[in-house]
Amino acid sequence: MARRSTAQSLAAASLLLLLTYHLRRFSCSAFSYPRAHDLLCHRGPSRFFLDTASTEQWSELLPLGIFHGITTNPTILERCNVPCTVASVQSLASNALDVTDEFMCQSWGGDADMMYSIGMELSSVDRTRVVVKCPVTAEGTKAASRLIGSGVRVCLTACYSKNQALVAAACGAEYIAPYLGRMTDAGRDGLSECRSMQSIVKGMGSSTRILVASIRKVEDMCTLACCGCDTFTFSPDVARAMFAEELTAVAAKDFEDAALRNKGAKSDEK
């Protein structure tokens, strides 16, 4: 009898430990009340990036709370009157990391050695939160592979075809950025290419993210999200377009009008 009681006690203790372990492991489960640090549980693996180097746009749009980080490249820097120098991009990165979680900037140079050297300098601001972009050319991929080997997070960029997703997965890039709008401009089926890239990395068992860029319409993001794409970078104009819903605006105004009318007057009903 004593042996049976002891065995039952051990079994109960083991079960309690197992339950405690799983409750701690899955702290985002329905058993825990939502807290600020549980945001990732609701957001899932998705990541949105704001595609601009304008600090004014950052101030306006980052408070929305939907963005994981900021993306830039030499063209964006030029458009925003930010010099394309190591010192200038490092300063921009420092400012960005004060207000968001991740900052992407693009290396430059005519060959792999130069792109690697500049990439190392750019990432030195914070190797855990700065992602260096390299074009998915032969020289860019050489530089990317060396940067990855040196502990730098990398995004292969200027992607225009699904076969380049094979390159990104094979070299271990964290991201590859297909240019959706530009592919469509060139007469290609950009949506189909992006869907194929997502299937390729999934089929290869790769953790490379398809960072869909050059987005012109919110509807295209919705279409790709339905196919499993969860990482997007888009302009401030596209970000604003996400909130351009007339019916929501009308409903919100109705709520505000009702709140102003109803300030606690006593009802005549008995």
- The residues carrying an active-site annotation are 133
In sequence order, the 6+-apart residues with CB closer than 8 A to the CB of 134 are 106, 107, 115, 119, 140, 141, 143, 144, 147, 154, 155, 156, 157
Got the DSSP string for 114-153? HHHHHHHHHHTT-TTTEEEEEESSHHHHHHHHHHHHTT-E
Cα separation, 165 vs 229, in Å, equals: 13
- Nearest in space to 69 (alpha carbons), one of 47, 92, 94: 47
Length of the chain (residues): 270
CA–CA distance, 248 with 256 (Å, rounded to integer):
12
Q: How many angstroms separate the CA atoms of 120 and 81, rounded? A: 24
Q: Is the Cα torsion angle 76, 80, 81, 86 positive or negative in sign?
A: negative
Q: Buried b vs exposed e over 86-104: b needs ≥16 C-beta within 10 Å?
A: beebbebbeebbeebebbb
Burial 53-78 (b: 16+ CB within 10 A, else e): bbbebbeebbeeeebbbbbbbeebbe
- Say how far apart CA 51 and CA 48 lie, in whole Å: 10
Residue 166 is which amino acid? L
